[in-house]
Amino acid sequence: MSLDLQTLFFLTMYVEAILGLLLLLAWVQNVATHAVAWWGSAHLMRSLSVALYGMYGWAPDLISIDFAGALLFTSFGVTWTGARLFDGRQTRPGSLALGAILWVLACRFPGFADSNALRTLVSGAIIAGFSWASAYEFWRGRSESLVSRWPAIILLFGHGALFLLRTPVSALVSPAAEDIALTSAWLTVLSAEALLFSISIAFVLLAMAKERTELGHKTAAMIDPLTGLANRRAFMQDAESITRRQAAAGRPVAVFLIDFDHFKSINDRFGHATGDRVLRLFAEICTANLRSTDLVGRLGGEEFAVLMADANRDNAFLVAERLRAAFEMAAMVLDERTIASTLSIGVSIIQDPAQDLVALLGQADQALYRAKARGRNRVELAASDIDVDAAAAAPHPNEVGTPALA
């Protein structure tokens, strides 16, 4: 069984239309992903352009060549625009229509419509340009961990390269009129590739949009919406992994448990909007004062936790004190109102490779309780990390001045 050009022609027209409708249906189910609507429209435009090309010979050249080509090249510009929108970039209507404009202008030159080689060269260059531009847009957004992004880049680059090579390869395989059979075979290969590309790229683009949606849902399930920090589930999951890894390597881990002092009174006096503003301020303080590798999470309400890898007792205490002091200063006045919000922090350091995260958090919780009992707005180390009696005799930092910070 063999596929002739006419069969591939009608099959391509039908498949492009079906793919376009499927992509538009997927977009209707999630209208937030506008790129999918652009990609679906591009396939429908290609289906219509193929239909117009099929009218060559009994329809005016203005329809079957000029308009059909302009529609085809615009469809590739629409695909490129969808790639830009997918990664949050602005549309460029002028650039989108550039291929169609070049084609229409070329068709105005005498002899262009009668020169198959010239038409092939111009059309191949336009399609390759838009395909490579689309691949580049996806490559620019490679920092987003979407696995399906890479097949899209490869498909678009390969499709563009093949179209750009159409003219020189055609010249090599059909240098004379007696090579009609070879030329026909080459055209069949190109038509089959175009059909397979349309099917492949449609499903890859749809998979990319679906993968992003699923990733967004997964991220939303692990992020506290108010502060943008990890929520309790995400913190416990990542902290457990870090603790096991550090313990196996014999390296220390520090955990802070942080609680806002008299937070209920802030909500009662100033309203919950101000209370939320205070919580967001703390998240900003953490971002400014902690390493990018440190893990911060909101455990619930006004209780937060920090996990620091490779932090010994002294370093952990200094960092916790820095957080406390920075927040106390920043939260003194908010929106021209005196808030004077403060923190109490309990710090624990892993001592035994057999210890787990639960034990570490339990020690930090006991240290936090002592910080509350000893006047609040202070940092306390877990009892296993210092001599409790010596710690009880030590003056509060606010009484003797804040210790020098490393």
Select which of 302, 321, 328, 380 is catalytic. Answer: 302
For CA atoms 84, 88, 90, 93, the dihedral sign is positive
Q: What span, in angstroms and rounded, lies between the C-alpha atoms of 152 and 172?
A: 30
CB 83 within 8 A of CB 132: no
302 is an active site residue:
yes
Q: What span, in angstroms and rounded, lies between the C-alpha atoms of 207 and 201?
A: 10
Which helix (H) or strand (E) segment holds residue 221: the answer is helix 180-222
Q: In 10 A of CB 272, how many CB atoms?
A: 10
Cα three-residue angle 88-93-99, rounded to 5 degrees: 115
CB 191 within 8 A of CB 9: yes
Q: What span, in angstroms and rounded, lies between the C-alpha atoms of 215 and 26?
A: 17
Please provide the distance, in angstroms rounded to a whole number, between the alpha carbons at the two ends of the chain: 78
- For 318, counting Cβ atoms within 10 Å of its Cβ (0-12 exposed, 13-18 middle, 19+ buried), the class is middle
Q: What span, in angstroms and rounded, lies between the C-alpha atoms of 87 and 387?
A: 55
Residue type (1 letter), 257:
L
Give the contacts of 402 (CB within 8 A, at least 6 positions apart).
321, 325
Distance of CA 175 to the CA centre of its chain: 49
- Residues annotated as part of the active site: 302
